[in-house]
Chain A
């Protein structure tokens, strides 16, 4: 069973449908016991960092997430909230990854980045059987910079962390649930993690 964390940021339905297509059972919940006992946890998110962190703190979901022992996958805003700090609303985040989340700045490229871009430099079983520069779908104005925990990169305005990993915590900036067969493979790889 996969627990998808329910909170005030985002559209979790697509993640659940994606798992359903893989034949994986999931539940959307904010119940501590259910989340703790799940084999895998997905922390999705679309929205603004500040109200999302506020919501998580008020319900002590922040402490719950940080203390999880099973594989956890953050998606999009989920990845950003798992970093130290986000420039979006000058928000202190969960601090799982030792990274800063910054706003893209460009005079010629559009912000947010919307669409399909390459991922490369894989350093995790999450990308097992994928090919360097495979395409994934992203929608975001903020990014996590490169660091020791970077397990895949994408270039937009600058190279940034397309994915991060520390211990049992994994996170991707793009949307695997919307990234066609490549995204499906990544979700499958996550489900297979032990």
Chain B
């Protein structure tokens, strides 16, 4: 990449994270959390993304049944054997033993969502056992008519009366090391990330916030890093269907003076 005209400014860079939704060992993508399409073999995709300069990967397992979860551990092992960038695994994680098994097989972090909301002590258990750095709190959030952002559970199907800011605060106190924030209003729209709630959490807490939901253009990434103050931005379908390619996205962000790894 020709960046001879860009002065060297050292420091931590903003991360670009492709997300792979996994069901029964295959990559899928839910549009507005519904109507899922098959986007291929996850390991193959993971290798492609890591070679293209993705900074990290997230695998969210949406397999419903317990017996099929064993395929996730096998998948994690295959991914860890083949890629040399960090990756997070999430989806249905509710026990310390689940996490131990995923980390042992090579995952760097795990994300917890519904189970942590129902039993917040899980966050403390996990951070004490494995360290905060590997505990990512995933929050699915939706802005209601009252203008407030609320927490949703079960992949966005169940509304709660808890405000996202309050839950995030509690979870960070319990030891969550990072927040993966998905806006249901924005997810699948390709109209851009939810900048207000992202900036709210990213400036309020001393843990990194990964913005998710709504990426449609390269400019949306610039917005979420500048206005949204996000530490990382996650997207799925636009990467899977090559609407945006990571090398071009990073080149664009560098030109826009957003620090990214080249």
Contact = CB atoms under 8 A, between A and B. Distances in A.
Interface of A: 11, 13-14, 17-18, 20-21, 46-48, 109-118, 120, 133, 135, 137, 139-140, 154-156, 175, 177-181, 183-184
B206 A115 contact: no
Contact of B84 (A21, A47, A112, A140): A21
B208 interface: yes
A117 B13 contact: yes
Contacts of A184: 84
A17 B12 contact: no
Interface in B11-26: 11-15
A116 B80 contact: no
A118 B10 contact: yes
Interface residues of B, number: 33
Given A110-B231, A114-B177, A115-B208, 14 more contacts: A11-B104, A13-B105, A17-B106, A21-B82, A21-B84, A114-B178, A115-B231, A116-B12, A116-B55, A116-B261, A118-B11, A135-B262, A175-B86, A184-B84
A115 B12 contact: yes
B169 to A, nearest CB: 15
B255 interface: no
Interface of B: 8, 10-15, 50, 55, 80-82, 84-86, 103-106, 108, 131-134, 177-178, 206-208, 231-232, 261-262
Contacts of A179: 84-85
Per DSSP, chain B at the interface is loop
B15 A115 contact: yes
A46 B81 CA distance: 19
Contacts, number: 90
A47 to B, nearest CB: 6
A4 to B, nearest CB: 14
A116 B13 contact: yes
A175 B87 CA distance: 13
B109 to A, nearest CB: 9
B13 A135 contact: yes
Contacts of B55: 115-116, 137
B108 A110 contact: no
B47 to A, nearest CB: 11
Contacts of A113: 12
Given A20-B81, A110-B207, A13 B12 contact: no
A139 B231 CA distance: 14
